[in-house]
Structure formats: C-alpha cells, structure tokens
C-alpha cells in the first residue's frame, strides 16, 4: 500500500467509519461481522485490497478498539503516541513520487506483504497525525446523541459536527427531543 499524505481527510473518514461499526456503538450488533462486510467497507473507502481473511477481520476488530482508544485519549501527546504505535507496524520511510498528474507528492509506503490490519493501521495513523497537526485534539469527540457511545474526529471546516453517524444519531436526538416535548405537554399541571 502507498499512502498519499497530502490530504488526511480520506484516512480520518475511514477511521471514523471503522470505529462506528463497533457493537459498542451499534445497538443492532457488530456492523463488521464477516470478512465480506470488511471488504465492502474497504471498497466504499476506495481501499483496494485482496479479499480479507477471517484473520484480517479479527485483527481489524482489534485495530478498531485501538483507534477508539486513541480518539478517547485525554491529551494530544497521548493521541500522537498512539498513532505512532500504529504507523510503526507497517509504515516505511516517506518518499516523494509523481502522482497520476505528474506532480510530486509525499507518500508513506508500507512493508510489502504486510497484513491488512497493519496497512490499515498505517493508513489511519496518517489521518490521525494530519488531523492533530491541522486541527488539534479538540476535534476528537464523543457523540452528542443521547445513549450513543460513539466517538469521532471532526474534520469539518466549521468544526461543529456533533454526531458520530449524522444520519442515525442526529435522528436519535430528534426523537429524544420530540419525546421530551411530548411528555411535557402531556404532564398534567
């Protein structure tokens, strides 16, 4: 894998999506239950790899827990230390190479034949580094929806993202608000 590091957004978007598949976050169970489900997640994020094996899935589940731990770190230093552990697993020295348009770009290559979870660890680490450098650790947040245990990194321009899965958790918040209002109206005074 050759990871372009000019833009951290794709790696952070993938890290957020991976962490959100966990049964800790999903009330309906693990959203990454099979190697096929992992393959679909990878394809969605334009990560072309050979089909994941059950071992790849197991190690990606472990990675998911580690990434969550890094998002939950209390200090910026701890987050950087956590991402450093991840990048060292398969990350090699950065190199400069031409992209498809002929422009020079920074890349982090990974060890040839590295296990999938180690490649993903390096990919995610570049995103964590980029987000910390550009936006700071304050963008590592818990989801604001009631009862949601999700965490995420907000890389939006305004920095006002509140939910780990905006479609799902934003709705959960609306339902909670609606119920609260309804209860207030129906409580006899």
Query: What does the binding site for Zn ion look like in residue numbers (CB under 5 A)?
Result: 143, 145, 148, 150, 163-164, 169
Nearer to Zn ion, 116 or 145 (CB): 145
Question: Least CB distance from residue 168 to Zn ion, whole Å?
Answer: 7
Nearer to Zn ion, 3 or 151 (CB): 151
DSSP summary character for residue 104: E
Distance CA 68, CA 20 (A): 9
The token pair at 101 is: 């348009």
Nearer to Zn ion, 116 or 165 (CB): 165
Which residue in the shown chain puts its C-beta closest to Zn ion?
143
Question: Least CB distance from residue 171 to Zn ion, whole Å?
Answer: 10
DSSP 32-81: --SHHHHHHHHHHTT---SPPPHHHHHHHHHHHHHHHHHHT-SSHHHHHH
Nearer to Zn ion, 79 or 164 (CB): 164
Question: Least CB distance from residue 151 to Zn ion, whole Å?
Answer: 8
Burial 143-156 (b: 16+ CB within 10 A, else e): bebeebebbbbbbe
Question: Least CB distance from residue 153 to Zn ion, whole Å?
Answer: 13
């Amino acid at each position: 894998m050759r990871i372009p590091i000019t833009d951290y957004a794709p790696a952070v978007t993938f890290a957020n999506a991976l962490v959100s598949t966990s049964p800790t976050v999903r009330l309906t169970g693990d959203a990454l239950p099979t190697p096929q489900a992992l393959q679909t997640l990878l394809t969605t994020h334009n990560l072309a790899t050979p089909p994941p094996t059950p071992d790849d899935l197991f190690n990606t589940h472990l990675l998911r827990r580690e990434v969550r731990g890094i998002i939950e770190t209390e200090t910026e230093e701890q987050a950087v230390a956590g991402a450093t552990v991840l990048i060292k697993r398969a990350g090699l020295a950065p190199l400069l190479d031409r992209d498809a348009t002929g422009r020079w770009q920074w890349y982090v290559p990974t060890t040839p034949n590295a296990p999938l979870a180690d490649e993903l660890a390096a990919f995610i680490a570049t995103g964590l580094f980029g987000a910390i450098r550009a936006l700071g650790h304050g963008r590592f947040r818990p989801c604001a929806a009631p009862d949601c245990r999700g965490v995420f990194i907000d890389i939006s321009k305004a920095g006002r993202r509140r939910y780990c899965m905006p479609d799902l958790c934003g709705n959960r918040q609306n339902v909670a608000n609606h119920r609260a209002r309804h209860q207030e109206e129906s409580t006899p005074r």
